[in-house]
Amino acid sequence: MAESAKILSPDKIVIHPNIDAKCPMAAMVEPEPLQLTKEQYPKAAVVSYVNTSAEIKAMSDICCTSSNAIKIIKKLKEKDIIFVPDTNLGLYIKRFIKDKNILIWPGICPTHHKKKIEDILQLKKNHESAEFLVHPECNPDVIDLSDYVLSTQGMVNHVKLAKSQEFIIGTEKEIGHRLRKENPTKEFYTIDKAVCPNMKKITLTHVLNSLKSLSPEIQLEAEVIEKAKIPLQKMLIAGRGD
């Protein structure tokens, strides 16, 4: 995400408080195997989830988020789509798009993928009145148990307007802090296993030190920025209202 900020604002200083706090899913797609797949399907459009490296974005036709992926892929003229890197999000997209051949990359978000049916069923049993909100990066069998499939921001927006007073949250558990703060009269039940260890690597100390030193600064080659900006800008345009 820091790289995306740098790509879209190359003249600005973009700081990442701890460069070791990287997304493991983003590391599951690398340039060389993606290039081989592109050569195998020369007419395919490469759609990369925003949680990918700058190098992968530079090889893509368009980027997407979890909230606009379906809309963006539906708009593409290509019938063959190489979707990287999240298998579960790709499988969710395929539920709604039947007229395209979506080739799904074998990558996962470990934090979302580890949610198990038995954990969800126990929470639903303990909190029968609660709505179950799940992120599309979760396993298909977990998604099947949900009341709503939403992006992180989608969950925030939904909870504010919902009449329900109780919610089981099927994404990284720390969103529960924000939800409770913004909705103090409602109850939220998070999943203990849903912890991203990489996100935990960024501490307040890291943030403070970065503000003092303006480092570590994100640096990208000019060619990568030039190429990667195109699919990101296409995403921003395509993701707007119809």
Read off the pLDDT of residues 14-43 as tens digits, 9 standing for 90 and up. 999 999 999 999 999 999 999 999 999 999
Q: pTM of the entire structure?
A: 0.91
Indicate if the pLDDT at residue 242 is higher than 50. Answer: no
In this prediction, residue 222 has a pLDDT band, given cuts at 50, 70 and 90, of: very high
* Cα–Cα nearest to 49, from 70, 64, 34, 28: 64
- Percent of the chain with pLDDT strictly greater than 70: 98
DSSP 3-state of 190:
strand
Provide the pLDDT for residue 33: 97
Over residues 43-70, mean pLDDT: 96
pLDDT exceeds 70 at position 142: yes
pLDDT, residue 226, reads 97
User: What was the pLDDT predicted at 238?
Assistant: 83
Evaluate if residue 114 carries a pLDDT over 90.
no
Per-residue pLDDT of 156-181, as tens digits, reads 999 999 999 999 999 999 999 999 99
Q: Compute the average pLDDT of residues 117-122.
A: 90
* Average pLDDT taken over every residue of the chain: 94
Stated as kind and residue range, the H or E segment containing 148 is strand 148-149
Structure confidence at residue 239 (pLDDT): 65
Alpha carbon 39 to its chain's center: 26
Q: How many residues does the chain have?
A: 242
Alpha-carbon gap, residue 173 to 111, rounded angstroms = 10
Q: What domains are there in the chain, each with its CATH number?
A: 2-109+215-238 (3.40.50.10800), 115-193 (3.40.50.10800)
